[in-house]
Every structure is written in structure tokens, then in C-alpha cells.
Amino acid sequence: MKKIIIITIIIISISSIYAQEVKVAQGKLTVDGCFWGLYCYTKDATTINSFARKNVFLGMTANINNWASLRLYFDIANTTGKPLYDAYAMIKPNSKLSFVIGQFKLPLGVEVLTKPQNLELIEYSLIGRDPMRTPKGTRDIGIQGAYTHRLFDFTVAAVNGDGRNVLQDGDNYKSFAGRFIAKPLPQKLIFAGINTYLGKYTPNTTYDRIGLELNVVLNQIIFKTEFLSTKDGTLKGSGYYVQAGYNWKKIQPIFRYSAFKYENSDNLNEFVIGLNFRPLSDNVKLMLNYKHEKLNSSLNQNGVLAQLQLAF
């Protein structure tokens, strides 16, 4: 794995020098990256006051020809020994149909599928975090098919269900994920959809998710909301978030409220107020968030987070 990372960094460095693009057979290699430097001050039962090197994502896409491509995506700042996020081949027989095989992000809602550099807030909502969103993470190894129409998109995936960087399935069962979105105004970023995750690990251990989503970007207004229903074995839960923002020149104020509750447990909720300064859109972005989160019936957390993002 270390050799792979070193080789990848060398290729990315060379390609970055030469206008972020080099030839691959008859196609080209494009490079993208995202750096996050974070400051975090939170206070609940304890206090955290720390600078952090959050993530350093580097990716490359080899477009071999007009119907075949390869994607690799790493977090080179990862300290857990699992830096690889994406490693998949894509085949596109035509402009509407595509197939992916390898390790990829599951089709589980607008927040999960938003590129890291395009997120408006520093942390995911309560329902966007694991294990609420998925029991083993939002990336997995398997195969996926997608069909894109002017008025709708449909995606379905079959995966091992063990999460990313687990090279062999630990059982004989497969997990499935799917998403359908309707796009009534194809020229606008307005869509509504439903997504699901069906996971099975033993005959008596299942993890099911059903999500609803709505995304509206209209002129300078940003609005998105999702609802999630979960079932882990016999334990049921549900939650949602509502997020609204406005693009005013290089300034982007954002507000989000999210909540989640397992049956017979405390209701968790969080509100976040954010302000982004975007001198070069999402390529250079300074993010400031204040959050108040209810951790349980007797403990709240207040925090201030600041993050510098550089992306290309």
C-alpha cells in the first residue's frame, strides 16, 4: 500500500506541474485535490481546543477513451492505515448508461454524494454520520449501474457490505443500495428522490435504511433537506435535517438543523450556523461554524470550528 501511495503521489505531482493533465493511451489523466486545515473548540463534559490536519485528498481520473475510465482517490493524511477511498473502473456504453466496479461511494442521498470540496458546512448532519447513515461507512466494494435521463436518474449497487478497504467479503451475504431522483426542471439544480440501503450480515442481522431527499438551488438560494429511517436488527430510528443558505457575492451564510432518535432513547439534535468566505468559489474557501448539539438528555456540546479549504 505504501508503494502504491508513493507512486500515486509521484504521478500526481508530475501531472500537476504539466497543467494537471497527462496523456494516458488515447485519453488523458486529470488530477484533483482538496486540503482541509481545521481549528476546533468544543465544550461539553470536557474541552477540546486544537488545530488539526483534517484531510488531504488527492485523486486522479484516467479517461482511457470516451467510454472507459479509471478513478483513484486517496486521503494521504490518513493515519488509520486505510487511505484509499475510491478505486473503480467505469464503463459508459452511451451518455445515459454507466457501470462501475471496484470501491466507490454508495448512492445514498444528496449530502453523502456531494463532493467534499462542495460541502457548505464543516461537519455532516446527524443523519449523514455513521452508523446512522450506513453501518459500515458510505463506501464499499462491489458493482453499480446507473441510468441518467433528462427528467430522472436511477442508480443501483450490489456490494459486500463490509465498508471500504476490506478486500474480501466476510460472509456470504450482499448488501444493496439504490437511488431514484426526479428532475422536473432539468436546467435547474432542483430534484427530489428516494434512496435505500439493505444490508445483511447473518441470517438474523440486517441493517436497513430508507431516505427521502429534496435539493433546490434557485438563483442565489440554497435549500436541501433529507429524512432517514433506520432499522438495525430490531432497533428502529429516524431523523432528518433542514439546511438553507444564500450566495451573496463571495459570502455564503448557511444554517442547518438536524435531529435523530432511536426508539426508547434520547432525542439528539443539532443546529449549526455557518459563514463561508469564497474568494475563488470552492477552490479557496474559509469556513466558520458555530454549533450547539444535544448529546443526550443531560449533556450539550457547544463548539466553534474554523476551516481553510484549498481545492483544485
Q: Compute the average pLDDT of residues 294-310.
A: 93
Q: How many Å is the Cα radius of gyration of the chain?
A: 20
pLDDT of the residue at 266: 86
pLDDT of the residue at 26: 55
The set of long-range contacts for 21-25, using a CB threshold of 8 Å and a minimum separation of 24, is 24/62, 24/63, 24/64, 25/64, 25/65
Task: Pick 85 or 203 by higher pLDDT.
Answer: 85
The pLDDT tens digits of the residues spanning 184-196 come to 988 889 999 999 9
Whether 1 has a pLDDT exceeding 60, the answer reads no
User: What gap in Å lies between CA 146 and CA 106, rounded to an integer?
Assistant: 12
pLDDT over 90 percentage in the chain: 78
The pLDDT tens digits of the residues spanning 95-133 come to 999 999 999 999 999 999 999 999 999 999 999 998 889
pLDDT of the residue at 284: 98
pLDDT of the residue at 21: 53
Task: Domain ranges for the chain, please list them.
Answer: 2-311
Task: Pick 205 or 286 by higher pLDDT.
Answer: 286
pLDDT of the residue at 230: 97
pLDDT over 70 percentage in the chain: 92
pLDDT of the residue at 18: 41
State the average pLDDT for the chain.
Answer: 91
pLDDT of the residue at 81: 85
Whether 2 has a pLDDT exceeding 60, the answer reads no
CATH number assigned to the domain with residue range 2-311, chosen from the 4 options 2.40.160.10, 3.30.930.10, 3.30.2230.10, 2.60.120.650? 2.40.160.10
Task: Pick 13 or 28 by higher pLDDT.
Answer: 28
pLDDT of the residue at 200: 85
pLDDT of the residue at 19: 41
pLDDT of the residue at 159: 97
pLDDT band at 16 (very low <50, low <70, confident <90, very high): very low
pLDDT of the residue at 59: 97
